[in-house]
Amino acid sequence: MVEMDAISVIRAKRDGHALTEAHIDWIIDAYTRGEVADEQMSALAMAVYLNGMDRAEIARWTAAMIASGERMDFGSLPRATADKHSTGGVGDKITLPLAPLVAACGAAVPQLSGRGLGHTGGTLDKLESIPGWRASLSNEEMLDVLRDVGSVICAAGDGLAPADKRLYALRDVTGTVESIPLIASSIMSKKIAEGTGSLVLDVKAGSGAFMKNLDDARELAATMVELGTDHGVRTVALLTDMSTPLGRTAGNALEVRESVEVLAGGGPADVVELTVALAREMLDGAGLGDADPAKALADGRAMDVWRRMIAAQGGDPDAPLPRAREQHVITAPSSGVLTRLDAYAVGLCAWRLGAGRARKEDPVQAGAGVELHARPGDRVLAGAPLMTLHTDTPETFSYAEAALAGAYEVGPSEAFEPSPLILDRIAPSA
């Protein structure tokens, strides 16, 4: 066995060299076991941030993180599996209607999701506003729900890519979060270890997204598509706009309520558009390209699966959702057309109201958030409601409203320039 040490690996990347397979396998394994200290891994993460990685390095890094834990297997299921991952945004409740919709069309959807942090919402936080619903399932419970219902949304277990869990926390406090190789390998190690047969990525670009500009989002999407392809998972990505919030709500129970509207055949047009587009991609990846998700949404089949999925995880689909005790209405400053509404500002406002958290262990308010009464392109009247802020802690209203300073504009109709929701599609290169 070749002798290896952390300092040699750090120096190699610091000096701009590509890490060998042996370097990568050793450092990830040794860090997972505690043989490599956090400060040494921090130095390596910064070297990667500054000097990057080539495709072979990223693929090996991802493989090493997968190998640090268990790999799930859905081969016993009678259906093909398809999964989706979003890089996160404001009002992004798409997973909620999407998973039961794809299951209603014949695929199995093992959706491992996370919690919100900062201005971006988390799928598990949203679903936990449903009385009784639980996020933590054993692998056996997850398989049982998939066999019975066809879709499950739950938390990832501790055994899935544990190296990534340690490195993710380290990146958050060392200024290396924005490294595309580390972002891509973090996301894809968990998704590949999850064992899904195909994967659709929703990579967002804009003020409310992790990647603020389209070029960075495209690079991240292409890197993740390559990683999936290199590991035998059929992977495609949609680049989608996150300069404006998705739908008309940002906040946990508010977004669940809106998702149920979509499943009932209504809901905001942009949420429906993206849900159906992602469903088509997932069904195509599962070999079910002839299925019509728009029809399954309209005829109630997706709603039936939603109700069964929520009940299978202990939730009551008929229970009233929590509502915040206090509301504050923000009115339009003038008459005209809402020409701009900044996604990041709305997300920050919702966070300050109690819908999000600053640290992973912080609690969230189920009913807190922002309800939008107008979206860009809509005509508004001076003094009419523009948005309603919801919270149990009314002392946060002024602080939350301050986040919206300069975040929206009302002007003449010709000042509004509509932009597409789906910006591009990234498929594996030939």
> What's the CA dihedral at 295, 422, 206, 256 to 10 degrees?
0
**389: how many CB neighbours lie within 10 A of its CB?**
25
What does DSSP say about strands 369-372 and 336-341: parallel, antiparallel, or unpaired?
unpaired
Note the Cα 41 to chain centre separation in Å.
26
DSSP bridge pairs for 239: 203, 424
CA distance 412 to 418: 14
CB proximity list for 22: less than 8 A, separation 6 or greater: 2, 4
b/e sequence 329-342, b meaning 16+ C-beta within 10 Å: ebebeeebbbbbbb
Task: Provide CB contacts within 8 A for 250, sequence distance 6+.
Answer: 90, 91, 121, 346, 347, 349, 350, 355, 369, 370, 372
Active-site residue set: 85, 164, 171, 186, 190
